[in-house]
Amino acid sequence: TWLKQWRSKLEANPQDPILISQLVQEILRCSDHPFTELLHKYQMQIYQRLYPLIANKHQEIDIVQVPLPLSAWPSLDDVSDTLCDDIQSPVSTSTDKPEPTSLCSLKDGYGKVSQQSSENSTGVNSSKTEHHVDENKNRLKFSNKKVEVIDIDSDLHPLFDQSESECSTKNRIEDNQVICDLSNESKAVSDVGHESPGLLQETENPLTSNSPAILPDSDVQEDLKNLIFGNSLVGGNIHQMNNNDGDQSSDDVGDRTLCEDQVSKVESIRNLCDGVSQKADNTSSRTDKLAVDRGNAAESTRNVCDGVSQKADNTSSRTDKLAVDRGSEAESTRNVCDGVSQKEDNTSSRTDKLAVDHGKELESQMSWERRQAQLLMRQVTKDYSSYQSGDSDYDENKLDYLFDGSEEEDDDGYGWFDDNASDQSGYQSGLQQRTVLNQDQSSSLDSGISDTSVSQPDRESQGRGFSSNVDLENKHRKDKQFQKLSQEAYLRHLKSISEDIHCYLEKLLVIMTISYEPLDTPVGKDQCAVSLEEPFFKPIWKTLLRLFRVVNHKQELMLACVMTRLADSTPADFKVSQKLWLTDPACKPYQRAITELTNVQQHYTMLSKLECVVKVCRQICECVDDYYSQKHGTGESANKKAPSVGADDLLPVLSYVVVQSAMPQLSAECHAMSEFIHEGYMMGEEGYCLTSLRTALNYVISLFPSVARPENQS
């Protein structure tokens, strides 16, 4: 009935923006309104894709702060490619400094080296020299393989808090069945949460600063993260996971005694098969969701699904062949898990809980296996679609889409797998898969910068544990490639998720305009989009931003470096013309603009962030005006009028403000803003201010080589 009232109100006054936003709020307040349910479903879908991607990245992200801890300082080598291929600009960059060119040549050298060594096995030498070149040329100080133990408590607690709260969000949103699953999940998470302080306290004391002691600790930490990661992945598959869980943990006891037995091989094959069938399940559940959206497409999609699950049967036979290669790799996974759990064993005497934990570890391992299986499926699907000419193009596209959607972070491994499949070279496969594994396992150690030096010993020991013929130098080189690949994979995920978000927002908007015809005007649609933005982004924003931060990690590191280094800078340092230095003994020049810029992170919606950015630019001009009017009052330079601030002056000041804001996440924020803000807004003042901010950011980042060098020399 209240909806009818709204309808009549709307007809009387279809263009009233306040009315429209009130209507949207009213609808969303009603939690069982179909529109609200749809919104929540979309949010859930986005969230489910986001969370696994960022779940084990917290440490990497949290380390980026101003002042940047010395251990996190990136080397020029690490960021050279980011500096060189300027993604944002189609035109070749020309900077005032000579550094980029030398960097380019360095990078070219590296590229050649790695190419060479990937072609033949003499790569050991070349990668060694490459290493030397990097270290000597850049005079880096990262050879002292020492990591600062960052405050683990503060690092982990938010993690748990967040995941708990996120679970509760999920509970609210999800339908009954999944609520069941998720309550299990959140319980599990809270278990871990309860346990962790004990663990941490025990582990923290012995290992304050000596580096060998860090390793077990970070293992534990990594392990905990894995648990969460595993939990988060569960989603719709949790039932099946749980079913397997029992077997797994009993198997595991045997496994631990037998260690590198054939059993694990058999099991890995089974895991793979499970994974494949899970995948099929997963696919069909996703298809169902889609089918709701597109009723008429439902049947055809389901047909495809049937095809997929049939295919899954076929796959298992193929799997056998490949699984032999995988056997060793699965073994090694288990070894690592065992290692971790043994360490845990030492630290915590609660052996009864260990079994449960172990089961969860296996869960996470399972999910890893499942991802491998997904890769396999992809491969198979390619073959499949190549001879399945009977299917219409639409179906095939659909199929592709499904797989694109469900493939999580396995992209980084995909390239390798593809190669291997065509290679059919068993040994190589084993080796490379293992490297993937190592990458996976130590990814939380890899805080992106000092990673190679830090995790090297760790990996060495692992490598010895697995097999003696693993070439460490090759690994080092491959790590770099994997990092690059995983970076690219994250970028792809970001793109596809962004596309989905755009698509969902559009769908919601269309539904609104269909159900409330008076809204079907430019003004109405506009207002609708504006009012939908906040409820849509608010619950997922933090997670989404984290993905953006992972993608922008290197930029953020460089930004943080420059910000740390230039913390005491003045406008003069940015070549601001003298009339705009605004030297004032009372406070920093442009303090108001700086404060305003730090507010950007407190907003949830793109438009309010954008508004913030506009305010920053305006504040800069106001600061100038105020300064001159004050001076005018004191008669110091009574005849001077406030100069007008053109872009020639605005950008240096903005660069100064960016550095003073000490907010490295600005890079990610700007990226997100330009991704989700409607084209139309990019034309006007908002677009101008955002572009200016991004230009200033880019400039500040480009200062990195000049600030990094003196630091490393001294």
Residues in contact with another protein by CB under 8 A are: 17-18, 21, 86, 88-91, 93-96, 522-523, 526-527, 530, 575, 603, 607-608, 610-612, 614, 617-618, 620-621, 624, 644-652, 678-685, 688-689, 691-692, 694-696, 698-699, 702
> Which residues, at least 6 apart from 513, have a Cβ–Cβ distance to it below 8 Å?
519, 520, 524, 525, 528
Distances (CA, A) of 9 to 3, 348, 509: 10, 64, 19
Asked if 447 and 60 count as a contact pair (C-beta separation under 8 A), the reply is yes
Query: Of 474 and 661, which CB lies nearer to another protein in the complex structure?
Result: 661
CA 173 – CA 151 distance, rounded (Å)? 34
- Residue 47 or residue 699: which is nearer to another protein going by CB? 699
Instruction: Give the closest residue to 583 by CA, choosing from 622, 627, 549, 637.
Output: 627
> Nearer to another protein by C-beta: 235 or 652?
652
Query: Which residue, 81, 123, 127, 125, is CA-closest to 106?
Result: 81
**DSSP string of 81-94, one letter each residue:** HHHHS-TT-SSPP-
Report the C-alpha gap between 327 and 279 in whole angstroms: 20
Looking at beta carbons only, is 441 or 527 nearer to another protein?
527
235 phi-psi bin (left φ>0, alpha ψ -120 to 50, beta other): left
Return the number of other C-beta atoms located less than 10 Å from residue 244's C-beta: 20
Least distance from another protein to the Cβ atom of residue 711, Å: 21
Angle at which helices 591-598 and 647-661 cross, to 10°: 60
In the complex, least distance from residue 83 CB atom to another protein, rounded to whole angstroms:
11
Instruction: Choose between 373 and 666: whose C-beta lies nearer to another protein.
Output: 666
User: Which of residues 308 and 703 has its CB atom nearest to another protein in the complex?
Assistant: 703
Contact yes or no for 159/58 (Cβ under 8 A): yes
Query: Which DSSP letter does residue 446 get?
Result: -
Residue with tokens 């169902």: 288
Closest separation in Å from C-beta 676 to another protein? 14
Q: How far is the CB of 642 from another protein (least distance, A)?
A: 10
Residue 277 · residue 368 · CB < 8 Å: no
The nearest distance, CB 97 to another protein, in angstroms, is: 9
Angle at 46 between CA 43 and CA 49, to 5 degrees: 145
Q: Which is nearer to another protein, 544 or 617 (CB)?
A: 617
Taking the least distance from each CB to another protein, the nearer of 3 and 18 is: 18
- Rounded to the nearest whole angstrom, what is the least distance from the CB of residue 708 to another protein in the complex? 17
Say if residues 64 and 562 touch (Cβ distance below 8 Å): no
Is the Cβ of residue 246 or residue 684 nearer to another protein in the bound state? 684
Minimum separation from the CB atom of position 607 to another protein (A)? 5
Smaller CB separation from another protein, 18 or 514: 18
Query: CA dist 699 to 110, 561, 645, Å?
Result: 25, 13, 19
Shortest Å distance, C-beta 597 to another protein: 14
CB of 269 to another protein, least distance (A): 52
Q: What is the CA radius of gyration of the chain?
A: 28
Shortest gap between Cβ of 320 and another protein (angstroms)? 53
Rounded CA separation 650/640 (Å): 19
